[in-house]
Structure 1
Amino acid sequence: MKKLLLGAALGALLVPAASFAQTVDAGLFSAQGDEHECLDDSCATVALFQSGPTGSGYQGTVAPKYGTWGFDLAGRDTTVNPGDNFMEYANGTALKSLVIPSDRTSYGSFALLRELSDNRMKELVLGLAARTDLTPGTDEAKIADAYRAYMDEARIEALDAQPLQPYLAAIRAADNRDKMAVLMGGTQGRLGSSLFRTGITIDAKQPDRYVVAAGQGGIGLPNRDYYLDPRYADKKVKYQAYVERMLTMIGWDKPAENAAAIVALETSIAETHWTPIENRNRDKTYNEYTIAKLAEEAPGFPWQAYFDAAQLGTAPRLIVSQNTAMPKIAAIFAQTPVELLQAWEAFHTADDAAPRLSRRFADAQWEFRSRDLSGQPEQRSREKRGISFAEGSLGEAAGRLYVAEYFPAESKAKMEQLVSNIRSALSDRIANLTWMGAETKAAAQEKLSKITVKIGYPNKWRDYSGLEIRPDDLFGNAERTGIFQWNYQLARLNKPVDKAEWGMTPQTVNAYYNSSNNEIVFPAAILQPPFFDPDADPAVNYGGIGGVIGHEIGHGFDDQGSKSDGNGVLRDWWTPADKANFQALTTRLGAQYDAFEPLPGYHVQGGLTMGENIGDASGVAVGLEAYHISLNGQAAPVLDGTTGDQRFFYGWAQVWQSKMRDEAAKQQVATDPHSPAMFRVIGPLRNSDAWYEAFNVQPDAKYYLTPADRVHIW
């Protein structure tokens, strides 16, 4: 589905997540289907979020507690050898009793906090919707009206496909390739799709300004593997049936014939696409063009008309990501019959609009995209979807209400101290690296010192006064929201980069590092147990939120984030020898992850997950050292027979407690730059000398590595 590229693409998050207002490159967990879905992790306090035989999720608005000091020892499975599977050892009993709710593809610690945030937003949104005294035009009134419109099922059913008719008429009128290119360009912020992604982002080599970006597009399945890899052949068959179903519902001619042709067209496009691993390489995806140069190198597509329609035709520069794919896709466009391009656009427009149309459209999309692709047995309730729509339409306005109600000031102060200790620990580790020379160390220290930290919420809130929301117009509300967001992006091109802006809302359970701004950002909603609990033992907090802080700072020094300097400029600040040493270490780490097999025949891609794996390893190493710094030379106390280091590792494992449905796991290994939760626990710990000592892991353990085979990067 088409999404906007907004502002600066976020270099790395704690978990991959897509909000309603942005698309991000990578994250701490993943979004699945039409909701905020994460690389969910199970929670030791399973009883808190189980209800009924299938598990309907956490119902409360109060953050859960874990044990008496931040970790629930009863959630362990001590029959498991820690070195054979530390995820099971630390979380096994909790995982056995965990049930994934039927409207989810995964569940655990992240999902629990996402539901906590959702439940809080539910109280806020429903409270606003029940009021009759809201002043029209205020943010509060718009949130209430957005929800009311979503819940007006009678009107939505009566309209059925009617809102689509102007779009379908425009597609039928685009009866030559030039008109089709103009139509595709005009989909920015609107319904429909294009064979090329286009947006606005921070210029990686001039991070004080915005630039137009373009890249490969044109497919409706998660990525090229779903067209070309035999393991996903069944998904491709179901996709064709879904395309036919949508074309039939909108009354398009020859739905079966066109569906087969659309999938064949997208297969040929997928063959030109770069692989997920290639798409991670920031050096190769930064290619400076003008529209004229792109037209010269990728003939067959009317580029100027396309960019004019997107309101970007006067842009002096473009940054093209998959530059070698663009000429091939342009050639495919030039050779494809106009009638097929029209059918392709009609399907993608209906697919894009489906959640805002009548039930038959919304159900059809859910059945394919969430059930068939990700294994989700049941659709979320309309109320949940309505709250998500209202929250997503006015993200920061909803976030402002969330912060006022649920984010105490003392949490921000305590986080600042944790970040300070993590910085000190990483600085010490950089100073003592044996594989890096003095010149590169100095540049790394400078970059570390310049990292900006954002905690909780932005200092400046978004202005939604220009967004019109009506209580009886769901489809129109979605249209106007998309246009409002796109116009917001267009206005950036003539302004300096807004360094105060956030790429996530405060109610988002996630965190990220932005390489162009050299900043780490922690929304309010993640600063709760199991990540952060002001009443928990410090070791658990350092293993939880301390590991997260270390993870995000570590992204500034992973295989891609390390390509930007302290000012956010994409440039090489490494000596050749140090770069070679770094690449040798990352190659060894990648080989470890390549061997992990979460499902038979489905291996982790070490190259795809490299940045997150380095972030996890950094989070564990730096978080543990920061915990030791916090002890001020004193011995850590023993609690319930556990040492401080043991509690640190328990804290890290607790963060990643989760279960995932098989179909979602298959999608994850193909598309997600994050390793499965189990290996986010095992992968970094088996490279930590302190973990072996803390749990007496011996050479006969499954995941034992000899000291020489352990990879220590940061």
Structure 2
Amino acid sequence: MRRYVGRVGISCLQDSGTGSTGSGNGADKAGARFGSWGVETQYISPAIAPGDDFYRYVNQGWLDTAKIPAGFPLDGAFIELLLRTEKQVQHLVDEVVSHTAEPGSPAQQIADMHASYLDMERRNALGCSMLLPEVEAVLELKDHRQIARRMAMNGHMSLVSCHVDQDPGHPERYILTFAQSGLGLPGRDYYLKREKHYIGLRAAYEKYIEGVLQRAGIKGAGKKAAEILAFEKEVARRQWTPEQARDALKNYHPMPLTKLEAYAPGFDWKEFLVEAGYDEVDLVDVNTDKAIRKLAKLFSETPVDTLRAYLVFHYLNNHAELLSDEWVDAHFDMFKRRISGVREQRPLEVRVVEFLNATVGEQLGKLYVARYFPTEAKAEIDRLVKFVIEAFRERLAQVEWMDEDTRKAALVKLEAITTKIGYPDQWHDYSSIQVSRDDLVGNVRRQREWHRQDDRDKLGKPFRKWEWYMYPQKVNAYYSPTGAEIVFPAAILQAPFFDPKADPAVNFGSIGMVIGHELGHGFDDQGRRYDATGALRDWWGEESSRNFEIRTRRLVEQYNRYEPIPGLRMNGKLTLGENIGDLGGMTVAWVAYRKFVESEYHGKAPVIDGFTGDQRFFIGYAQLWRTLAADDYLRKITLTDPHSPGEFRVNGVVRNFAPWYEAFGVMPDHKLYLAQDERVAIW
């Protein structure tokens, strides 16, 4: 299990006595990107009491004027940074394509992948013709055995995903891992919910399936579309819920490969694994195990004709964004506009940057860090991380509900967490991948196959500690429980999440909180199950586990009451890990900030524009999560995403945190007020 979190930023820790996390005098009036000291104070609404709605107190002016950019279902600080990063990447691409490069070099691969994607004249002329030989081959499959083998092929959909991952029980090695799969819509609830909205989406999806089959010349497209949708409904009924699927203990089910056939009968595992290239492995990990048993049985009970149609549709759909305008537009209408609420397609010259990041992202990443991430930045952000780790260490030493043996083990785990910053120390060698200017679909296939072969090569070898799961220009960050590491790609280490010219309070409330959030994932409801080596095992004392679960149940109950849109309640169990990360991240960032104030300001930060340092800390945090989102997007993430919407990442956190009450004079008559015995404090 890996956990990822978005919305993070660049940190620069400059020497100033004990160190600086921004302008030593509170703010550099000339240079902060957001406002004069890191916050756009023009958007603060004095008409809203901070204690009634802190999120809107800080962000209402922005919410009133913001517009969702083309091609996105939302806007916010994260999107602003993403757009700026894309422009940086676009400049690099423009330089690369203007020169001739050596075959097999990163520059040649970038340039030719770029050219193949932009060649709409060729793409429109070809349509889906390059896919038809495989479509015809699928339509000739005779039995379930042949279907199972096809499901393992590059570009095809399967009821079971198959990939190589770190072994949670033995993190020093890799293991072949299976998990439930097989759906075209974002999650099982899209098939099972009976509300009018989801009934309409299913009808639209059926029409989309029919259109895909018709464009490929498949006869009886309408009947086949109905059969495919009905089949996917049955798949959805057998899948685990998102909250079940994030349970680390329930998901770890290692077994000898020889027992897989008997454990999940009905699916031809031998044919599937031969085609995938994994038929000689000894051990496998069956995630979502009970779902896979049910899916294997469903597979055996489903007519071959239905499975053929299912394979054909998904093979075409998996390539739709690489085909002609007709295919691209239909795919956008279904999956971006109808499901996520995106109003208009991004221009081709912008979409190509997204595509290059997805296909040659690491090759671009080497260029990106050379241009936009100076080597000294690594050391600077590393010092800030250590500052926050010290605060976390202090909190672990103080929590009253944890027994001493568990506390000692937790402190050992904290010390063992590795921090990776900016870019990997070692890069993959992609020079063997053939990239052609006139073969877009082939380029993507060969890129995917390289990664499949690379996965095969990992089995039987030690875990690659150098390998990253994100490229440097990715605006994101993650914590890996099995890797015992927190990772901050270069692109996320920029304003608005950290600005070296901004007020230190704002930096602690944003990047400091995010660092604390990532560390906190090591001690959330799932991350706590992994020890200092990254091994999945029970290392907590019974009393500490019981005390932890009492607190987390209360947090679940709080978030279950929140409604992103009227009538749609959040799933507190699904978002629990991220909510623990937010609350814990806020806490340790606050402790780190107060230690900074003691050392830099002798205990009293300057007042800026009428705001105390403590107030600026929380205002910076609230600005970080400002979000304007389409309702359809909010529906989607509420059903499928472990992160809470921005409003609740602010209000849901601060109302549990005593220093916020003190900073803004929040009283019992305020709407966000919680009595002390109702507040949740974990870390």
CA distance in structure 2 between the aligned counterparts of 1:14 and 1:143, rounded to whole angstroms: 26
- Give the structure 2 partner of residue 11 of structure 1: 3
8 Å CA contact 1:511–1:522 kept in 2: the answer is yes
Q: Distance in 2 between matches of 1:625 and 1:80?
A: 28
1:302-701 equivalent positions in 2, closer than 5 A: 302-631=268-597, 632=599, 633-701=602-670
Distance (Å, rounded) in 2 between the aligned partners of 1:402 and 1:692: 42
Which sections of structure 1, spanning at least 5 residues, go unmatched? 1-8, 16-27, 30-62
* TM-score relative to the length of structure 2: 0.95
Q: Using the alignment, how far apart are the partners of 1:564 and 1:408 within structure 2?
A: 34
Aligned match for 2:89, one of 98, 107, 121:
121
Equivalent position to 1:167, from 112, 129, 134:
134
Q: Secondary structure at the match of 1:494?
A: coil
Does the 8 A contact of 2:160 with 2:179 survive in 1?
yes
Which residue matches 1:90?
A: 58
AA aligned opposite 2:2: L
Between the aligned partners of 1:703 and 1:309, the Cα distance in structure 2 is 57
Q: Distance in 1 between matches of 2:256 and 2:136?
A: 33
Which is bigger in relative contact order (C-alpha 8 A, separation at least 6)?
2
Q: CA separation in 1, counterparts of 2:53 and 2:179?
A: 41
Say if 2:145 is the partner of 1:150: no
Q: Is the 8 A contact 1:207 1:568 kept in 2?
A: yes
**Alignment of 1:210 onto 2:177:** no
**204, 224, 244: which is aligned to 1:258?**
224
Residues 636-669 of structure 1: CA deviation (Å, up to 9, x unaligned)? 1111111111111111111111111010110010
Q: Is the 8 A contact 1:440 1:578 kept in 2?
A: yes
Q: After superposition, where does 1:66-77 map in structure 2 within 5 Å?
A: 66-77=34-45
Contact 1:192–1:348 (Cα < 8 Å) also in 2:
yes
Distance 1:104 1:12 in 2: 20
Which blocks of at least 5 consecutive residues in structure 2 are unaligned?
Answer: 10-30
**Alignment deviations for residues 290-329 of structure 1 (CA, whole Å, 9 cap, x no partner):** 3332211221111111111110111111111111112211
| One-letter amino acid of the structure 2 residue matched with residue 568 of structure 1 | G
What's the CA shift for 1:444? 0.4
By how many angstroms is 1:276 displaced?
A: 0.7
Q: Distance in 2 between matches of 1:522 and 1:153?
A: 36
Q: Secondary structure at the match of 1:84?
A: coil
Letter in 2 for 1:100: I
Q: 2 CA distance for matches of 1:480 and 1:379?
A: 27
Find the aligned partners of 2:120 and 2:334 in 1 and give their Cα distance. Answer: 22
Does the CA contact (< 8 Å) of 1:69 and 1:536 recur in 2?
yes
User: 2:155 is matched with which residue: 191, 196, 211?
Assistant: 191
Structure 2 distance, partners of 1:634, 1:585, is 32
Cα distance between partner residues in 2 of 1:237 and 1:336: 22
Give distance in 1, aligned partners of 2:76 and 2:32: 13
SS of residue matched to 2:174:
strand
- TM-score normalised by L of structure 1: 0.90
Separation in 2, partners of 1:368, 1:566? 44
Runs of 4+ displaced beyond 4 Å: none
Mapped partners of 1:319, 1:14: distance in 2: 28
Structure-1 separation of matches of 2:325 and 2:373: 37
Q: 2:183 aligns with which of 212, 219, 225?
A: 219
> Which amino acid counterpart does residue 183 of structure 2 have in structure 1?
I
- CA shift, 1:64, in A, is 7.7
Q: 1:103 aligns with which of 58, 71, 91?
A: 71
Any conservation in 1 of the 2:70–2:342 contact (CA below 8 Å)?
yes
Provide the rounded CA distance (Å) in 1 between the counterparts of 2:478 and 2:134: 37
Kept in 2: contact 1:447–1:565 (CA 8 A): yes
**Cα contact 2:32–2:502 (8 A) shared by 1:** no
Aligned to 2:679: 710
For 1:449-495, what per-residue CA distance to the aligned partner results, in whole angstroms no more than 9, with x for missing partners? 00100111111122111111111111111111111111111111132
Offset, 1:102 = 2.9
2:218 aligned counterpart, secondary structure:
coil
SS at the partner of 1:589?
Answer: helix
Amino acid at match of 2:494: Q
Decide whether the 8 Å contact of 1:374 with 1:667 is kept in 2: yes
SS of the aligned residue for 1:274 comes to: coil
Q: Distance in 2 between matches of 1:437 and 1:251?
A: 67
Tell me the residue number matched to 1:38. none
Match of 1:141 in 2: 108
Please state whether the residue corresponding to 2:285 is helix, strand or coil. Answer: strand
Q: 1:511 aligns to what SS in structure 2?
A: strand
1:14 touches 1:551 (CA, 8 Å); kept in 2?
no
Instruction: Report the CA distance between 1:392 and its aligned residue.
Output: 2.2
Q: Secondary structure at the match of 1:314?
A: coil
Amino acid at match of 1:284: K
Task: After TM superposition, give the deviation of residue 235 of structure 1 in Å.
Answer: 1.1
Q: Which secondary structure does the structure 2 equivalent of 1:283 belong to? A: helix
Instruction: Report the more deviating stretch, 225-234 or 627-636.
Output: 627-636
SS for the counterpart of 1:301 is: coil
Which secondary structure does the structure 1 equivalent of 2:157 belong to? coil
The SS at the match of 1:207 is strand
Provide the secondary structure at the position in 1 that maps to 2:249: coil
Separation (CA, whole Å) in 2 of partners of 1:410 and 1:594? 44
In the alignment, the residues of structure 2 paired with residue 524 and residue 477 of structure 1 have an alpha-carbon distance, to the nearest angstrom, of: 27
Letter in 2 for 1:10: R
| Amino acid of the structure 1 residue aligned with 2:126 | L
* Partners of 2:479 and 2:485 within 8 A in 1: yes
1:14 and 1:548 in contact (8 A); partners too: no
Give, as a single letter, the amino acid of the residue that structure 2 aligns with 1:634: G
CA distance in 1: counterparts of 2:378 and 2:356, whole angstroms: 27
Cα distance in 2, alignment partners of residues 646 and 463 from structure 1: 48
Q: In the alignment, which residue of structure 2 is the partner of 1:233?
A: 199
Q: Secondary structure at the match of 2:289?
A: coil
1:429 alignment partner AA? R
1:202 counterpart SS class = strand
Provide the secondary structure at the position in 2 that maps to 1:66. Answer: coil
Equivalent residue number for residue 297 of structure 1: 263
SS in structure 1 opposite 2:177?
Answer: strand
Distance in 1 (CA, whole Å) between partners of 2:69 and 2:569 is: 26
Deviates more, 1:81-90 or 1:667-676: 81-90
CA contact (8 A) 2:104 2:432 kept: no
Question: SS at 2:248's partner residue?
Answer: coil
Aligned to 1:574, what secondary structure does the other structure show? coil
* Partner Cα separation in structure 2 for residue 410 and residue 107 of structure 1: 31
| Amino acid in the other structure paired with 2:91 | E
Q: CA deviation at 1:219?
A: 1.4
Q: Does the CA-based 8 Å contact 2:167-2:174 persist in structure 1?
A: yes
In 2, Cα distance between equivalents of 1:428 and 1:605: 31
Aligned counterparts of 2:675 and 2:383: Cα–Cα separation in 1: 35
Question: What fraction of aligned residue pairs are identical, expressed as a percent?
Answer: 41
1:173 maps to a residue whose letter is: E
Contact preservation (8 Å) 1:195, 1:329:
yes
Contact persistence 1:128–1:140 (CA under 8 A): yes
Between 1:413-422 and 1:242-251, the stretch displaced more is: 413-422
**CA distance, structure 2, for counterparts of residue 442 and residue 415 of structure 1:** 27
Q: Aligned residue for 1:57?
A: none
